[in-house]
Chains A and B, each alone.
Chain A
Amino acid sequence: MMEIEEKFTAKRFWKEIAKGIVLTNPVFVLVLGLCPTLAVTTSVDNALGMGAGVIFVLLGSNIIISLIRKITPNMVRIPVFIVVIAAFVTILSLLFEAYIPPLYESLGIYLPLIVVNCIILGRAEVFASKNPVLLSMADGIGVGLGFTVSLIIISFLREVLGTGSLQIFGKKLFAIPVLSQSPLTIFIMPPGAFIVIALLMALFKLLGVLKNE
């Protein structure tokens, strides 16, 4: 990828954010970061927590990596990126443990596993190591939001089908009459995760096919 450092403009900032959400949606289009996508989408709460965590780490690591891009020797760049990312994940996990313990508990080992989320290392390698700080920030926010939106879509479907109701931050938003008495529990269990993402991917593909014809 030959990306020359472009001049920073407000327009480009918003374009970079929009690109991350729609055109290069990390989950449905690039198929990156699958493990947390499937594991934490049992409820919308978890999805929001994970999304916020990934945005935090992505933003932080993109800023630092972009700042040090000129003094990082090319040979050791990957280990440097990984250490920067791991440092931000450690900060995040300490913050969650201190301030939102229930979320920390329910995300479990998937919180530290943000380190090996390919989206973050991918953005560091492809974008932040070649672009100025503000653009890298925009890229981090855009891709992070794209990831969060995908998580919310998946977790919304799984929670509504699997429990028959929707809860956000402990507040019940709505319950579907028949479904909440006999919910399709399979959707909040592992097989349901695979089914939901398979159908969503097929939908995105179908849209792509229709658009081309």
Chain B
Amino acid sequence: MNSLLTIFLGMVLINNFILSKFLGLCPFFGVSKKLTNAISMGTAVTLVMVIASVATSIIHKYILIPYDVEFMNIIIYILVIAALVQIVEIVIKRTNITLYNALGIYLPLITTNCAVLGVTLINAQNNYSLMQSIISALGGGLGFTLILIIMSAIREKNELADTPKSMRGLPIAFIIASLLSLAFMGFNGLL
């Protein structure tokens, strides 16, 4: 139990995907301009991360290891993630049209989001069990969502500020990310 909590907190605060591992930066800078978009994107990523972690950790344990083809994990994982994203999209479309409209355009983008492939590779690298994989994916996804929400709130305010011409847009967003990353380094001593 203790180790699960350690994994969870580690993924949310200390090894945060965006601020310390630099994973999923494209959607981070792409959709962090508005708070509502940030929440939708975060939810979609967390959902796909958890499902992908379950699928890949089962495949890793029952197919890749018994047949001694662990080196194939990159190809297998990316195919599993691409297929899962399609399935999740179809299921959500059929069952919950409101959710589909909210997440719709973000789902296809997730296939090439390195955070999703990243979490499955981290799980495999650390030999996490099924439960540990789920917790680490959940932590990673929530950490991603948290930073996306904080960032979008700051950027909404920042729109009103008078920024020098050459710093407008991405450069200032990177500076904000840098300060956030500095703040989150304070959590390093937590565990």
Interface residues, chain A, with chain B CB atoms under 8 Å away: 31-32, 34-36, 38-39, 79, 82-83, 86-87, 89-90, 93-94, 108-109, 112-113, 115-118, 121, 186, 189-195, 197-199, 201-203, 205-206, 209
- Using CB atoms and an 8 Å cutoff, list the residues of chain B in contact with chain A: 19-26, 29, 71-75, 78-79, 82, 112-114, 117-118, 121-122, 125, 165-167, 169-175, 177-179, 181-182, 185
Which residue of B21, B25, B122, B179 contacts A191 across the interface (Cβ within 8 Å)? B179
A115-B78, A190-B20 are known contacts; what are 10 more A-B pairs with Cβ within 8 Å?
A31-B29, A38-B22, A39-B23, A86-B74, A90-B72, A94-B71, A117-B114, A190-B181, A194-B181, A206-B166
A-B contact pairs, 6 of them (CB 8 A): A38-B22, A86-B74, A118-B26, A121-B112, A186-B182, A203-B166
Contact A205 B171 (CB under 8 A): yes
Decide: A201 and B25 in contact? CB cutoff 8 A. no
Chain A at the B interface: SS class: helix
Interface centre among A193, A203, A209 (most CB of B within 10 A): A193
Complex contacts, B122 vs chain A, CB 8 Å: 109
Q: A112-B74, A195-B178, A205-B166 are in contact. Are A82 and B24 (CB under 8 A)?
A: no
Alpha-carbon distance between A190 and B47 when the two chains are bound, in angstroms: 26
Chain B residues with CB under 8 A of A186: 182
Contact flag A198-B178 (CB < 8 Å), given A34-B22, A35-B25: yes
